[in-house]
Chains A and B, each alone.
Chain A
Amino acid sequence: MTPELPDRYGRTELVLMVVDPSLLFAYWEVTSEGLREAQVALGAEMKGARAVLRFYDISLIHFDGTNAHHTFDIDIGLEGRNWYVHLWTAEKSYCADLGFVARTGRFHAITRSNIVHTPRAGVSARDEERWMRVRFVRRRKPDPARRLEFVLAPPFGGRLSPEELRALLERRLREQARLAAESAKGTSPGSLFQGSR
């Protein structure tokens, strides 16, 4: 017989996970103490207050609770305990608070999530190059603290001018990226235990 897992772990928490560049998954648990604390904090305003996830876009900043690029709220049912959140832009950093918004607009947070970074969904706009020499070590582990040696970028050579070659390589990269996006429909036939086609 398959054992059942506990429904709750008795710990108030909110966890964010990345599904893809424009989708997050959030799961949470709120203990009765967590809820009571919110009731105390909001007092009479708790009546009619909405449970929300308040998301903060904290890309490339040190978040101090007030300096997010922007925020948005997702209404949740506390009992639902998880939710998928659709996003507009890739390559961002987010965290979220789980809390209550009173009718007056006052927000009380019960818990704050981890920070997640959504991946890029296309070719990077940055093209400044750095190059490094790293000596490969056979049959033993390299020292993790070894110094890394930056070196000059190799020249763009050959029959074409450096500018033409750079442009050619970029075109190739973008073409490959286009093909990669197309074939990301899934290419692997799966493992032994995959079902029949």
Chain B
Amino acid sequence: MSPQTPQPMGYLCLVLHCHLPYVRHPEHEHFLEENWLFEAITDTYIPLLRVMNGLVRDGVDFRLTATLSPPLISMLRGPLLISRYERHLNRLIELASKEVHRTASQPEFHRLATMYLERFLQTRHAFTQEYGRDLVSAFGHIQDLGKLEIITCGATHGFLPLLNVVPSAVRAQVRVAVAHYEETFGRPPHGIWLPECGYYPGLDEVLRDAGLQFFFTESHGLLYADPRPRYGVHAPVFCPTGVAAFARDLDSSKQVWSAEEGYPGDPAYRDYYRDIGWDLDYDYIKPYIHVDGKRINTGIKYHRITGKTDQKQVYDRAWARARAADHAGNFMFNRERQVEWLAPAMDRPPIVVAPYDAELFGHWWFEGPEWLDFLFRKLHFDQQTVKPITPAEYLERHDVNQVCTPCGSSWGYKGYHEVWLNGGNDWIYRHLHTAARRMEELTRAFPQAEGMTRRALTQAGRELLLAQSSDWAFIMKTGTMVEYAVKRTKEHLTRFTSLYEQLRSGRIDAGFLKDIEEKDNLFPSLDYRNFS
């Protein structure tokens, strides 16, 4: 938006939170949980990049804000996982080719099998040729064009309100993330996505000290802010530290999130759960499911949601695309009416903040990236009332804001900390806090370490950060893959404790250190003094 552009009646700030926990197991040839990354690349990250590049190509002036969490960046830049992704994608292409043959006599399935084959071939071409196997730079390129604002996150997505028992743990999560962003993009991040939107009063001091200028909270983070914010969630506030807080708008969130009333539940859309990994003859599908023979999703799905029934109808691509266009139009219409309703009572254009987990788009909601594409095109060509904006642009245009302290909150079930602190996962905190305190103690004991001692301290920091991912507590709560989350938590804590004891006794086990440096290899240039 140039300064000459007339001020619109209101703004739309779309935020996509891209994050996956660091899952990388060189010790196994195949590892099921690595598929999270592979599926997200195929279903979400590449489709989003293709949408954005298409908008740029067609001269559509759009704005998007996206987190790229440090673990995700590290995985997308890791040679082992990238080569495994290609292997995964090649298998998928092989399966889709077989499907094209198998369905030759069933036209409606054949069309879909052909669609998948073409799609996966395009994905491979985009990944290897257009993006040179480096999706992070592909996102960075769109940021350089001024269309995308990439923000950072906690170093390993630690849930900060519960790590705060040892304040140095929160500082380290933020400092390491900011340093990693600077290393990746060559400039500091303007803002941060607080993991799980987890905020507590005072956290903004840590953000200010790290040079961050804005963050996001759940709706009641601002609605319950103190004093009452005049404009609710439709304008940011400054925390007493001068860091700006933007809050999620309820209406726009619900239309997209909600499985029942939201767009993604439309009968025309592709059904996520009905996958040929479960449907087809075992001997036929066996080479493409888990190596131990367990059936899993392959990513090829032929049915539409249909309704609350097990009798799913065959997916109709044209119909689904038309619905995505309808829903984009509906979303835009609602934002226009919303802004027209809000604006007359405000001295500035209202901002509607609509954040989503990125993996909703394309992975769960297959048509999500197309919806986004339609939405930005319609916003650009069809109306003047609502303009997309990034938080940075908003704060440049509107540098006077109310001063409030947001309310402690998160975007999890019930809005506070219960998802990450309940009977299913509360046992982890005793260990996480002890390890964080010990890490701080180590930085005091070894203020200027070099050589092997420094390596051990750095690795201890990595193990602590990995144990702190909110993903583990989340998985323990939701009840699938619990064993893996428990194992990861215990492994990183045990490795940390071994290093702590070795550093304390002055006898570092070089072989052990080398082994875990290779296994848990994120943040290669981590500075252990960030834990002070």
Find the A residue at minimum CB distance from B219: A180
Find the B residue at minimum CB distance from A82: B426
Q: Which stretch, B369-377, B395-403, B507-515, touches the partner chain A?
A: B395-403
Whether B229 lies near A173 (C-beta < 8 A) is yes
Whether A188 lies near B223 (C-beta < 8 A) is no
CB-defined interface of B29-59 with A at 8 Å, one 1/0 digit per residue? 0000100100110000000000000000000
CA distance A142 to B422 in the complex (A): 39
Q: Does B431 contact A (CB under 8 A)?
A: yes
Partner of B481, one of A9, A136, A177, A193: A193
CB-defined interface of A169-197 with B at 8 Å, one 1/0 digit per residue? 11011001101110111111111111111
Find the B residue at minimum CB distance from A119: B408
Q: How far is the CB of A146 from chain B (nearest CB, A)?
A: 8
The interface on chain A, measured as residues whose beta carbon lies within 8 A of the other chain's beta carbons, has a size of 84
* Chain A contacts for B294, CB-based, 8 A: none
In the complex where A82-B426, A189-B360, A191-B357 touch, is A176 in contact with B486 (Cβ < 8 A)?
no
Q: Does A41 contact B (CB under 8 A)?
A: no
Find the A residue at minimum CB distance from B220: A180
Q: Does B2 contact A (CB under 8 A)?
A: no
In the complex where A2-B490, A82-B426, A136-B395 touch, is A189 in contact with B227 (Cβ < 8 A)?
no
CA distance A6 to B191 in the complex (A): 38
CA distance A135 to B401 in the complex (A): 11
Whether B250 lies near A176 (C-beta < 8 A) is yes
Partner of B273, one of A120, A133, A190, A196: A196
Q: Does A158 contact B (CB under 8 A)?
A: yes
Q: Does B347 contact A (CB under 8 A)?
A: yes
Whether A139 lies near B187 (C-beta < 8 A) is yes
CA distance A18 to B198 in the complex (A): 12
Q: Which stretch, A64-72, A101-109, A148-156, touches the partner chain B?
A: A148-156
- Which 10 pairs across A and B sit closest by C-beta, in order of nearness? A141-B211, A195-B480, A119-B408, A20-B416, A186-B413, A184-B415, A126-B227, A136-B395, A124-B226, A3-B494
Measured CB to CB, the residues of B under 8 A from A are 19-21, 33, 36, 39-40, 161-162, 165, 187-188, 190, 200-201, 208-211, 213, 218-220, 223-233, 238, 242, 244, 250, 253-254, 257-259, 264, 273, 344-345, 347-348, 357, 359-360, 363-364, 392, 395-396, 399-403, 407-409, 411-418, 421-422, 426, 429-431, 433-434, 471, 474-475, 478-481, 486-487, 490-491, 493-494, 497
Measured CB to CB, the residues of A under 8 A from B are 2-6, 9, 11, 15, 17-21, 23, 25, 27, 29, 82, 114, 117-124, 126-142, 144, 146, 148, 150-151, 153-160, 165-166, 168-170, 172-173, 176-177, 179-181, 183-197
